[in-house]
Amino acid sequence: MAVSDVTPLRADARRNLERILEAARAAFAERGLDVGVEEIARRAGVGKATFFRRFPSKDALVLAVLEGFIEEIEAAADDAATAADPLDGLRGFLLHHMTLQANNTAFFDAVSARFTGENPPVELTDRMLDAIGRVLAPALAAGVLREGVEAGDLSTVAKMLGAAIRPMPGVLLPEAAWPRYLEVVLSGLRAGQDPLPGIAADPCTMVREVSANSA
Amino acid sequence: MAVSDVTPLRADARRNLERILEAARAAFAERGLDVGVEEIARRAGVGKATFFRRFPSKDALVLAVLEGFIEEIEAAADDAATAADPLDGLRGFLLHHMTLQANNTAFFDAVSARFTGENPPVELTDRMLDAIGRVLAPALAAGVLREGVEAGDLSTVAKMLGAAIRPMPGVLLPEAAWPRYLEVVLSGLRAGQDPLPGIAADPCTMVREVSANSA
DNA sequence: GAAAAGACGGACCGGCCGGTCCGCTTGTGC
DNA sequence: GCACAAGCGGACCGGCCGGTCCGTCTTTTC
């Protein structure tokens, strides 16, 4: 979803595209995906049509913004992977993830809601899974984790922490409480306890659809 | 939000109201709050106007359905409070909560999104908090929990587990994986570890608005 | 069993939002 | 510096959905 370069954009067009992305990031962060295209365009100082000339649809914009986040997560994962203490790396990664979610209220929920089923951004989620694997590997190798921990557990725990941080849309858990819940789940994953019961979540579940019927 | 009884409803009206509630429960469970009033009315075998004659708005219906869930949670809390082993009580309560969330995909998220800020259903959330208190009390008294655990922690953990269960809207974590994440958080809350770091989430945060600005 | 109160439903309204169109403007290559 | 392609914006369209209106039908009551 990067800038197409078959015919290089005119300078002003390129500038506007950048502005739109920036405005969208800000607007999505503040109010979630519900902000209208019109408002985003206005905040970017641009007409609606200009928006649609750059992005085929609102979804495409969302994907583009999402890609930025994935990149950030990948960077955090690389940091974590090179940490001296693998458990600290893991902690740092999850904390970074929490920050990202906190600064982008409702964004991730909305993203997953929007891309449910038919058009999952497989490439992006695969990159995310890779990142998770890179974070987990050193901790697994060092044997600091409870028996049975695997990738699906980490992605699930990340999701759980993301939920903890936003008790309601527009409400943020005070930062002083973050380490508490991070600690709760890390305690639950640390070595020196019984093996984890049950099966791990499928990390791919984050992208593949499995129709779930209620009982 | 119970049935008004100043002028008793005519028999057919009462029957229709019940049908609407039932249809709404089913529809919300399956597809979240996004189902239109029209569809709910159709599923109830009723006209749209009839719907609006019974409920002043869609939100009122949502509240009514929500109240049903609160009642269910209260019942689960009472069960938990009378369990022989307080930790088992806690586990059972959280498991029940997970089931409820699983069977009502996207319902709770949507509810909190809808009632954000201006018109929080204070009475309902207070009842919820009471229930949580009742679950927690025996475990606290028995000293089976890590030092520092309080009500806000339980509500947060419940929210986290609810998130774990729904990796994406329409996708459900396989039931075999539920005990795993329940165990992760319970391990993190059990006595015999360092006191919980940081501060606890404010349980009331689930209802009171605190405007949260992103960094 | 008839009349009045109450309930019914489907057509209708209005606002919102993603997406398009068209006449005007502006950067760009020669 | 000119011509033309590329870009631009705001008016416009159409579908969706919460909510209302009104002519008709059902229940109740005496």
Q: With contact defined as beta carbons under 8 Å apart, do B195 and A179 qualify?
A: no
Tell me the nearest-neighbour CA distance from A82 into chain B, angstroms: 26
The phi-psi region of residue A2 (left if phi > 0; otherwise alpha if psi is between -120 and 50; otherwise beta) is beta
Q: Which nucleotide is nearest to B8 (CA to C1')?
A: C6
Least confident of A32-36, B105-109, B196-200: B105-109
**Which two three-digit tokens encode residue A158?**
């990340």
Quick one: chain A helix, strand, coil %, rounded to 5? 65, 0, 35
Chain A 96-115, CB < 7 Å to strand C: none
Domain boundaries, chain B: 7-55, 58-206
Domain spanning A62-206: CATH 1.10.357: yes
Question: B10-25 as b/e, with b when 16 or more CB fall inside 10 Å?
Answer: eeeeeebbebbbebbb
For residue A5, say whether its CB is under 7 Å from any atom of strand D: no
- The fold for domain B7-55 equals Arc Repressor Mutant, subunit A (1.10.10)
Span CA (B47) to C1' (C12), Å: 14
The string of pLDDT tens digits covering residues A22-56 is: 999 999 998 888 899 999 999 999 999 999 999 99
Segment B67-76 mean pLDDT: 93
For residue A45, say whether its CB is under 7 Å from any atom of strand D: yes
- Interface touch B168/A206, C-beta < 8 Å: yes
**Which two three-digit tokens encode residue A98?**
């929490």
pLDDT of residue B166: 84
Query: What's domain A9-55's architecture?
Result: Orthogonal Bundle (1.10)
Amino acid letter, B70: I
Span CA (B43) to C1' (D23), Å: 24
For residue A58, say whether its CB is under 7 Å from any atom of strand C: yes
A93 pLDDT tier (thresholds 50, 70, 90): very high
DSSP symbol at B82? T
Q: How far is CA A169 from CA A59, A69, B66, B83, in A?
A: 21, 19, 18, 34
Q: Which residues of B touch A199 (CB under 8 A)?
A: 174, 176-177, 180
Span CA (B39) to C1' (C7), Å: 20
The string of pLDDT tens digits covering residues B16-32 is: 999 999 999 999 998 88
- The fold for domain B58-206 equals Tetracycline Repressor; domain 2 (1.10.357)
**Which two three-digit tokens encode residue A116?**
């449910």
Q: With contact defined as beta carbons under 8 Å apart, do B198 and B207 qualify?
A: no
CA angle in degrees (0–180, nearest 5) for A211-A152-B113: 60
